[in-house]
Amino acid sequence: MADAAGVAEAAARAAYDKVATDLLTIWDEKKVPMPARMTLAVSGCLDLSLFAQLGESREKVREVCSKHLGLGADSLAGIMSQAALVSAWESARKFVDVRHEVEAEARALRQPVQIIKNDHLNMRKQYEDSHGGELEDRHVPGHSYVESQFEQCTEGEYKAESLKEVFSIQEDDDNVEGLTIDRATGHLKMRRKPQQGHFPKDSEELRDKYTLMTICRLYTKARFPSRRFLERVTPNIYRQLVSYILGEDVAKLESKDQDRHSLGFPSWELVLEYEYQIRKKAAKLLALGRETHLEEALKAAMDDQTLRGKHFLTPWQVTRPTRSGRKDRSRSRSRSKGRSSQKKKPQGQRRGAAAKGGSGGGKNRKNKGSGKGGDGGSRLPQAPAGMKRLFNDRQKKQICFTYNLAGQSCSPSCNRSHVCWWCTEKHEGHKCPKFLAAK
């Protein structure tokens, strides 16, 4: 008998530990006797809304006290115990009526229903009790995020949230409010604005986002147990999607050229965009009834090759660099540079030409030439008496010799100064008035 009593007491204590915090607060404030609390908890009265339905009137509640809770009216102590429980019942009833009014108004205005903080604490506690271990704050979904997901489930509007809309209680701000107009009365009211977090910067932050989404789905499943698409939701619901997005099929998909040289990996922005499109397609499949469970919808979206080509492969192929393109540009620059070099150093010039008095085109050569005049040709024209060929313009930038030679054309990629090498004016050297006059 002692063992049976101990088991019953343990069961009652376990049931009492599941009572919602707001209901415990009212019982504490009204001094409801502990035996009556235990009996109510064992009977399944665990939240405020159920306790508010204990009876339709005070007389009915007193009758429940006498028949079922052991609070008889045959003594003053019993009468006071009944009074405490009736007072708690009246407070719970008013509280629930106000809550229902606020929820109805929010739904009429198509706004998320604000959940009291005690409910958030209870959801966190239930998750930790069910799945073991204590949650870190960075893995606890923010209040606004949970409310928005509950609202979607209530309205039957299944859509994928942006990763910016997935945030923890560390990022949650309860003071984000704005003015809205009450359509019924025309009055201005302060309401909470939609809140957003930030996009994940790397794979670890993305994993944290998936953890938040998973826990929020489990919260929703506990609140709406009849929703069929949440039946198979487990703590591993997004594991396959995480492996797919961060694996060799997406984030680590390496592009190589024909010589097996690496051309790089997809950008992080493209990876996140494709990840969002997968969850968006899964939500669409659920909304249209083409898939029944979230797990199946996610798998179907991952296997959709049209979606993969449109939102991942095609954008990547358009924007990724190509090694062949770099080689072609390099060859083009080399050819241009070679032509420019050949024009700056005429083909007919030899080493002995400078020794015989010919003028070289290099920076360190003397300005003495053996050319037959200044009308162009393969050699540099001889400097007239009293004139000196310049190598730099007034801004100390090197002068292009090819530009100053008659019958020569400079490369479009030349970055030298295109001015006269005699007077640094904007004309070719072989057309310089001073040069022609001195010649």
DSSP secondary structure letter of residue 193: P
User: 410: pLDDT confidence band, cut at 50, 70 and 90?
Assistant: confident
**What does the pLDDT read at residue 131?**
85
Q: Which of 85-99, 169-183, 336-350 has the lowest mean pLDDT?
A: 336-350
71-75, 307-311, 335-339 — most confident range: 307-311
| Angstrom distances, CA of residue 361 to CA of 12, 114, 256, 334, 346 | 104, 83, 45, 21, 9
**What does the pLDDT read at residue 375?**
39
Mean pLDDT of the chain, nearest integer: 79
Mean pLDDT of 166-175: 78
**What does the pLDDT read at residue 359?**
41
**What does the pLDDT read at residue 328?**
42
**What does the pLDDT read at residue 350?**
44
- Model pTM score: 0.55
Share of residues in the chain with pLDDT > 70 (%): 77
pLDDT at 28 over 80: yes
Q: Which of 86-90, 113-117, 121-125, 169-173 has the lowest mean pLDDT?
A: 113-117
Selection from 364, 365, 363 nearest residue 353 by Cα? 365
Q: Which of 129-133, 298-302, 367-371 has the lowest mean pLDDT?
A: 367-371
Report how far residue 410's alpha carbon sits from residue 405's, in angstroms, rounded to the nearest whole number.
10
Q: Which of 181-195, 203-217, 352-366 has the lowest mean pLDDT?
A: 352-366
Report how far residue 58's alpha carbon sits from residue 64's, in angstroms, rounded to the nearest whole number.
10
**What does the pLDDT read at residue 321?**
62
Between 101 and 55, the more confident residue is 55
Q: Which residues, in sequence order, are CB contacts of 258 under 8 Å at separation 6+?
A: none
Rg (CA), the chain: 41
DSSP secondary structure letter of residue 356: T
User: 309: pLDDT confidence band, cut at 50, 70 and 90?
Assistant: very high
pLDDT at 151 over 90: no
pLDDT at 324 over 80: no
Mean pLDDT of 288-293: 90
User: 293: pLDDT confidence band, cut at 50, 70 and 90?
Assistant: very high
Q: Which residues, in sequence order, are CB contacts of 93 under 8 Å at separation 6+?
A: 52
Mean pLDDT of 406-431: 84
Per the CB < 8 A criterion, the answer to whether 148 and 114 are in contact is no
Q: Quickly count: other Cβ atoms within 10 Å of residue 87's Cβ.
A: 17
**What does the pLDDT read at residue 378?**
43
**What does the pLDDT read at residue 113?**
57
Q: Which of 166-170, 191-195, 197-201, 299-303 has the lowest mean pLDDT?
A: 191-195
Between 306 and 410, the more confident residue is 306
Mean pLDDT of 202-207: 94
Mean pLDDT of 227-255: 92
Mean pLDDT of 205-219: 94
Between 398 and 189, the more confident residue is 398
Q: Which of 144-153, 263-272, 337-346, 413-422 has the lowest mean pLDDT?
A: 337-346
Please, is 21 exposed, middle or buried when counting C-beta atoms within 10 Å of its C-beta (0-12, 13-18, 19+)?
Answer: middle
Selection from 125, 180, 170, 126 nearest residue 144 by Cα? 170
**What does the pLDDT read at residue 187?**
57
Scan for tokens 């502990």, then name that residue. Answer: 34
**What does the pLDDT read at residue 182?**
56
Between 155 and 97, the more confident residue is 97
Q: Which of 264-278, 351-365, 369-383 has the lowest mean pLDDT?
A: 351-365
